Structure 1
Amino acid sequence: MAAKPVSEALLRWYEGEARALPWRAPPGAPPPDPYRVWLSEVMLQQTTVAAVKPYFARFTQRWPTVEALAEADRADVMAAWAGLGYYARARNLHACAKAVAADHGGRFPETEDELRALPGIGAYIGAAVAAIAFGEAATVVDANVERVISRLCAIETPLPKARAEIRRLAEPLTPADRAGDFAQAMMDLGATVCTVRDPDCPQCPLQAMCAAAASDDPARFPLKAPKKPKPVRRGTAFWLEHERSVLLVRRPARGMLGGMRALPSGPWHDKSPGLAEAPADIDWAAFGTVSHVFTHFALELDIVGGRALTDTGVEGEWWPVDAIEDAGLPTLFAKAAALALAQRENDQ
């Protein structure tokens, strides 16, 4: 497959069909602020554009530069991230901002290799920032690009094994000029035309060159290996009230939901831990169960509630119940809090 016709056709299409996004420059315009490119790409990992937009707006209003983000308290960054999930991204985001501010004078390195030396920047983000913010001819491959290349070349190897082959086929397509526009064009094509289901082949600028479009079933690509069922773990979270406040703790910096505020909870095991590691020796009432799916397992979290007559002495903070939405709880514990509040209202 000739690379030049692919890149030329895609760039022509992008000039008229590019999505208007708050972190982007229009097609053909000077590159956008590297800070905004980097921030958006970190947020967009495994997260939809619609979900990212309000977070991006709040972050850039509160911390408009990488230096401002570097100076922020990490707890504030984690709280602002609450609800986006994959919280290691927030920890790495703050660490990377501090490294850019301290080691690079507040300016992002301009090459893919230098960018990848920063905390939390891997192959995808390094290539994306290098191409979009600095015009380096770096090959950017996300899930949308994987789908486009898989269909363009009708790759019969299933994912994830096909990733090396996809990158090898994508590399010669990246033009020396307008690499950033090309990367964003590939992502937009996958997001809006070459979609997971029902790809709109007649609207695709690459239809005439696409092997999958010539087949009877373009949506068959990319092939995927069968998914293994996720194991299910059980746990208990404790809603403990004292004087119209609820006890919140800070989870350990490393591990699931590291560094986030949360309700106290016991271990997460294959079997229910019951009241293990309860923050107080009181009569606990069952409020119900919330379900949550993590990358590698599903969790069934039982919620129990009670009242403490005195401060329990547990390390944490007593947060006003009426302001629990301002605590920056991750989604799992926001669900738990919502269930507890509903039960609380029913009991009144």
Structure 2
Amino acid sequence: MDLEKAPPQRQEPEGCLVVAIRVPVRIVVLVLVVPVRMAWDALVVAGRLVNDTVVRPVGRALLWLGRAVFVWPFVGLWRYVVVPVAKGLAWLGHLLVVVPAVWVYRYALTPVGHACAWVARGIGAGLKWLYARVLTPVGHAVLWVLRGLGAVLAAMGIGVFGVVAWLGRYLLVVPALWVYEWILTPVGRAIAWCARGLVWVVGTVVTGIGMALYWIARVLFVLPALGLYRWVLAPVGRVLAVIGREILDALGHAWRVAGRISLAVGRFLADLFRWIFVEPVRWVYRTVLTPVGHVVRDVVLRPVAEAARSVGRATRQALTAARESVRQARADFRRMLFGEPRQQEAVVRREPLGRETRTLGSSKTALTKD
């Protein structure tokens, strides 16, 4: 619950309308918000309780079950089946594909490639000799012959080309220039002047019609809409803005006040529950159950435990004596059937007995023992 006060803000001068609206709005909003805030706090507490006692354990159980059902089998399958099979297939592929391919490349393809390269180098050398010794001289000779023919043809055609150029100039170019300068240019200028005049007339007519439509729309639509906005909508909007701002401020204030009320009610209910249920139970536990438990422990449980331990010790001693008697009887029966066992001869040992070890400064070594 957000019970902290909002940071202080700059107070602006307020009118009588704002003050007249604020008090009833805050009262009405507080009456409406208090039940909602208390219900919200109760839902929050219940949600936290359900989350801590039900959702988290169930989620952890479902997570563990999901891991046990989906993750761990796939991990085991990957680790103990897929990876060994993949390694086996890789080894088999290396043995069956890579090794033969390397052998074929090294001992078959490489010699064949070297032979093909040697043949290609020989063919290239032959072609180079043919180009340098045969085709190049023939090409130079053909080029020399063609240059001579071109020079002869150029010397013969100088007069013909000059006459053709003079006739083309005075039969085509000069008449075309005259027609362009004295016919097409004036006609084009006249057409352009007429088009500019037509455009000016059309523009003037369209401008006049547009101005007329502009003033008609301004008088019929813009000025009434401007007056409606300025003298009706703006004041009403200011009033509604003041009311809405006051409602929002009242909601925030009522929410904080309702939080404090809800906190007080919650603490009262918690104290009531503690004094009605927890404290009596604690008093009964401390003043009744604890002394009774101590009496039961000292009078009943400890003597019973001592008697049980005594019975256990007696039982263990009886079982130990019985096992010893059975063992002795079995040994006597074995001696009666097979006789006394043969005694082993004592062997003189040169090593020290017991836990003492041989040292260089001691006289109990193997050499100085006797």
The two structures have a TM-score, normalised by structure 2, of 0.10
The two structures have a TM-score, normalised by structure 1, of 0.10
Higher-Rg structure is 2
Flag the structure with more relative contact order, 1 or 2, with Cα contacts below 8 A and sequence separation at least 6: 2
